[in-house]
Amino acid sequence: MTSPAQNIIPALEAVYVAMRDGVRLAVDVWRCADQAGDGPSPTMLLTTRYWRSFALAEDDPRLQGIFALASYFTRQGYVVVNADSRGSGASFGVRRTEWSEEEVADMGDVMEWIVRQPWSDGRVVTHGFSYGGNTAFLAAACGHPALKVIAPQFADFDIYRHNLFPGGIANGWLHDNWGRLTAAMDRGDVTAMSRLLPGIDGDSFRRLVRGPRPVDDDADGALVRQAIAGHAANFNMAAADLNFDCVDDAGRQNTGAFPDALFDSHRLSIYSHQSAIERSGVPIVYWAGWFDAGTADGALNLFASFSNPMRVIIGPWSHGRRFLQDPFVPNGKPSAIDLDENFEDVRQAVESCLAGKGIIGRRLDYYTLGENRWKSTTQWPLPQSTPTRFYLADSRQLSLAQPQHDDGSDSYVMDEAATTGTENRWHTQIGCMPVSHEDRRQADARLLTYDSMPLDQDMEITGHPIVHLYLMSNRVDVALFAYLEMIMPDGNVRLLTEGCLRAGHRKLLENDVGYRKFGPVHSFRREDIMPLAPDGMALLSFALLPISIRIPRGFRLRLAIAGADRDTFKPMPDADGAAIAIGRSRMFASYLELPVIP
């Protein structure tokens, strides 16, 4: 493909495109200024519910959030099409929920419109990250023949397990703040958006942004105002009383009601479209990050479950691949990544598919922290992985030796002020903010911790760590958070990965249905809730989120246990005064199991 001069600003055309039911979507078309003479081109399609572009006080295309992507790919010979999803931005229609059946079908309609345009050569690739990563995935469910490859990034494979209720515990921060932000967008409230978007200059945002950008034929903005007025009927997470915390609650409340009126993970997650996506046969290239909520876990679920030809890439990134995350850096601060680095990787990954060569088989590329090296595999879990147990022992130690004494436990009054802070893997999901790797010694003072002896040789951990914890409590249900950390020789403590489980969801499934999961599997269904008994030990087994890291000789491992993560997860009912006792005897031997690579 041609590479026109770097200083060419692509031309922007904004139009309404009618869907099969007459609803009009606002669509931006970005093309190189001299592209008309080059003949038809492949199209990169993005769809978003976060306003495809802004109405600006200064109508300069270089100030649009998508400009860097549009500029890069139009220089490479693509047409870039970016659409406001139904019921958002300048598009008409109502959002009954996120990623509704209508929204999925709309992507097929937009692709049909694209292939009829004189600038289209009939080939489409879908791309996007976060919400747009989901729509890039779901476009494959339409089965449109023009779609040659999908290139999503940092999407939500399982909305319940990876985002809103990991371990069955409500991610209140994401639920409330994402709901407030999307509600502000739906009503065109720039002032509220300026307060809710992290990492921006609110005053500058309010001075510059007027609302969602009208299409070219809407000179007086009457149509965009009409569209926004219609969005008042949209579903919104923060405004609605969802009244559910089990995975099947929303579906049950939908019974006999207007479908999709509630946020039903079983119907809206990527995994729920597996059959349609597999039938399409569309090649998948997917990126996720070790430090971005549960996206890496979702990437591995995808890799192990879907039959499409695919390449999955998991790197040392937070949300959106904006920052290089490295827990070894002295100050714990991540470094920014040039956007063109990501764009070039996307371009190289999709062009073989557009050229008709496709993707051969299925491959997972993953980055090992500490070793700072990319590796590839066709199997997950890695066949050479050796489960290695570290038992909870006396004096708050992690020991390779199994307990031999008949008694032993550690008591812990759950500290409601315990937190992983506001720069963690969950908060990066809004605004692509970096994840902090700063020292956790002070934070861990509120937690129950167990430390290993210094490692006598380097240890590579690649996969899902698993904890098996025997506990009793003075409550019938508690939230349990487990953190795998490393202790540097200078005493600095760095968080590597984490997992959590609501004790009531501890029942293990022997024959799980649906997509492939790793580690102990829980249904999170209401019928399987098991209250804790006041006079006996209960076993909680759950996986931590996956990671690949080589920890140097002389470092120590730490397992830290908490009953709260104040700045992210909603507290359990009756949390005040909740206490647990963790068993570490011969009969109740609690342990951390690590996937060690020899």
How many whole angstroms separate alpha carbon 223 and alpha carbon 218?
Answer: 6
Comparing C-alpha atoms, which of 521, 330, 325 is closest to residue 425? Answer: 325
Report the alpha-carbon distance of residue 391 to residue 281 in Å, rounded. 46
Check if 162 is active-site: no
DSSP annotation of 466 reads E
Catalytic residue status for 130: yes
Q: Which helix (H) or strand (E) holds 392?
A: strand 386-393
Dmax (CA) of the chain:
82
DSSP label of 371:
T
Q: Is 319 a catalytic residue?
A: yes
Q: Can you spell out the DSSP letters for 51-109?
A: -SSEEESS--GGGSTTHHHHHHHHHTT-EEEEEEPTTSTT--S--SSTT-HHHHHHHHH
Active-site entry in 249, 292, 444, 565: 292
Of 130, 265, 452, 523, the active-site residue reads 130
The residues near 223 (Cβ < 8 Å, ≥ 6 apart) are 16, 90, 214, 215, 217
Q: Are 91 and 28 in contact (CB under 8 A)?
A: no
Q: Which of 144, 162, 175, 319 is catalytic?
A: 319
DSSP 1: -
C-alpha 430/C-alpha 232 separation (Å) is: 23
CB atoms within 10 A of CB 56: 16
Active site residues per annotation: 130, 292, 319
